[in-house]
Amino acid sequence: MHAPSPMALLLIAIVVLVLFGRGKVSSLMGEVGKGITAFKKGVKEGAEDIDTAARSETKELETLSTADDIDRARAEIAAERAKLEAERTRAATDGALRDVTPTDTTKL
């Protein structure tokens, strides 16, 4: 598909200005600009949160000095892995139960 010609774009712009007026189009563009700014701010804050979480995990691992602390952390990780594996298995089972498509194509 080809792009519209410059003359067609100009005609569309004139129709939009006539229908909505210059003030409405201007305020609409202002809202679009605010939305883009808010999106960029959210992305920046999300990256900072990830960096902060990574630094705090590193500090937590550095504070594990005794064997008991290390064993406790390993047990917590193993428990979390078991929960995730159970959730993954449950989701796979639910997906298999919902699949009602016939597997034998000769019966169709």
pLDDT tens string 11-49 = 988 888 888 887 888 888 888 889 899 999 988 888 888
pLDDT at 7: 92
- Say if CB 73 and CB 64 are below 8 A apart: yes
* Chain mean pLDDT for the chain: 80
Is 80 exceeded by the pLDDT of residue 95?
Answer: no
User: Which of 8-12, 64-68, 103-107 has the lowest average pLDDT?
Assistant: 103-107
pLDDT of 99 higher than 60: no
pLDDT higher than threshold 60 for residue 100: no
Contact 16, 25 (CB under 8 A): yes
Q: How far is CA 62 from CA 56, 59, 78, 82, in A?
A: 10, 5, 19, 25
**What is the per-residue DSSP string for 30-71?**
HHHHHHHHHHHHHHHHHHHHHHHHHHHHHHHHHH--SHHHHH
What radius of gyration, in Å, describes the C-alpha atoms of the chain? 28
Residue 107's SS3 state is helix
In the prediction, which pLDDT does 102 show?
60
Please tell me whether the overall predicted TM-score, pTM, comes out greater than 0.75 for this model.
Answer: no
- 9-18, 63-72, 81-90: segment of lowest average pLDDT: 63-72
**Residue position matching structure tokens 């999300």:** 46
CA distances to 7, 15, 46, 63, 83 from 10, in Å: 5, 9, 40, 65, 59
